[in-house]
Amino acid sequence: MTGQDTPNAAAELAGKIALVTGGSKGIGLAVVQRLAAAGAHVFVTGRNQADLDTAVQSLDGAGTGLRGDVTKPEELEAIFEFLSHSGKTLDVLHINAGGGGFAALHELTPEDFDETFARNVRGAVFTLQKALPLLNDGASVIITGSSSASGGKASFGVYAASKAAIRSFTRTWAVELAGRGIRVNNVVPGPTATPGLRGLAPSEAAAPTLLDKLSQTIPLGRLVQPEEVAEAVLFLASDRSRFTTGSELFVDGGAAHS
């Protein structure tokens, strides 16, 4: 590759429009900041208005906040109605909103199951469906998966299954949208140093023990940093990955394959 072929990382998304769901904190916040730094204007969704306002303020005018919960059809509809009425089309869609908690099989309730699949699967499915008319040909769709989908972790079965479902949908959507040149890929973090991960601990006092235990499961010996996931998302959003679709890009320090 010659120097002229090397992309300018500071501006490789210049003039592009991106939408990141669940972008007000954690991995999503790191992603919106990285995409904005690369020149994109980023629409950011989140459920908490205060967190959303803080996220948008950090983008120095390169972002727009859209409060909404992707598990609620009327709020998801409102997000895409706003985008449609604004006249904006999308070059990048990062479906990041999601989450889950610990629950062993004997503890699991129908409500636990429904909530996790609503956030991680139904929310992703209908986010992409609603986005289809706004996605430019050649757009990049990135969906946040999880290294949990590649193995068995006690008490994390429903969350892992929901992310395995997303992996399957990604492969199907990559085929369905190939005719428009739209690429669909998974970014797959391992345990990541975010407020959401700390929140899995039964109490704040117990959080350091949980994080230390999770670090010990990663061959590289530490938690993933949100900024490291954001760099992978930028790669998948950019022309550097122009012939990559239906794939999983692991950012997990080797956790899924150890």
- Say if 2 falls within a structural domain: no
| Residue 95 main-chain phi, psi, to 5 deg | -90, 100
Contacts of 129 (CB under 8 A, 6+ apart): none
Read off the tokens for 143.
């969906």
- Say if 203 falls within a structural domain: no
Instruction: Please report, in tens digits, the pLDDT of each residue of the chain (258 residues total).
Output: 334 444 556 689 999 999 999 999 999 999 999 999 999 999 999 999 999 999 999 999 999 999 999 999 999 999 999 999 999 999 999 999 998 887 889 999 999 999 999 999 999 999 999 999 999 999 999 999 998 888 877 878 999 999 999 999 999 999 999 999 999 999 999 889 888 888 878 888 888 888 898 899 899 999 999 999 999 999 999 999 999 999 999 999 998 876
At residue 41's C-alpha, the angle toward residues 55 and 250, to 5°, is 75
Number of structural domains in the chain: 1
Spacing of C-alpha 51 from chain mean position: 17
- Say if 16 falls within a structural domain: yes
- Say if 131 falls within a structural domain: yes
- Say if 159 falls within a structural domain: yes
Task: State the CATH number of the domain containing residue 163.
Answer: 3.40.50.720
Whether 59 contacts 24, CB under 8 Å: no
- Say if 89 falls within a structural domain: yes
β-pair partners for 45: 66
- Say if 219 falls within a structural domain: no
124 is in which domain, residue-wise? 10-189+224-251
Whether 32 contacts 9, CB under 8 Å: no
Closest CA to 224 of 247, 184, 196: 196
- Say if 25 falls within a structural domain: yes
Tokens 């999983």 found at:
248
Q: Which sequence positions are flagged as catalytic?
A: 159
